[in-house]
Amino acid sequence: MLPPIITTARYILKPYTVNDLSRFLEISLDKEVSQFMGGTADNAEEETKLFYKIFDIYSKDTERWFWIWGVYSDNKLCAHMELKQTDTTNSDELEIVYMVHPEERRKGLMSEVLSVIKQNQHKWDKRITATVYPENKKSIALLEKWGIEKTETRINESNNRPYLKLLLTV
């Protein structure tokens, strides 16, 4: 399922190309990202497989909502972004997932992107949720700017760690 192209003042969200692998690996193998994403951090082979799986998702027309974007500035990959149905979402919800390249952090990238997602969510007739570990203070602070309507504490069955499911305001 190919996602729509979305533009902000400084960024464009569009489907990945195979040329993005090296920047994707710089994002997904970054320690700050992987500690909160459940990533493999240090396993480039596994992360490469995940990158190529994105193109399988693009080629499938499924009933499950699964949009994956690269976030670009001047054709340079700056971040990874997803909106998808997961096992933690209800039928009227989409979970947001994002990872920002180390060089692009603290520049307002995700604030700008999330603002546009919030402006567009009514078109999709879906609520936006996020799942975050409580120690991920930077993401929680960012999502608080959006507005959090409801917080649930859940347990990740794969590692027994508590995480938060946040229902973001419309």
**Residues lower than pLDDT 50 in the chain:** 39
Q: What structural domains does the chain harbor?
A: 6-127 (3.40.630.30)
Please report where in the chains the tokens 């990158």 appear, as a residue: 51
DSSP state for residue 20 in the 8-state scheme = G
54 is written with which tokens? 């994105």
Cβ atoms of 148 and 130 closer than 8 Å: no
Cβ atoms of 48 and 62 closer than 8 Å: no
Please report where in the chains the tokens 């971040």 appear, as a residue: 79
Q: What pLDDT, on a 0 to 100 scale, did the predictor assign at position 71? A: 98
CB atoms within 10 A of CB 128: 22
pTM greater than 0.85: yes
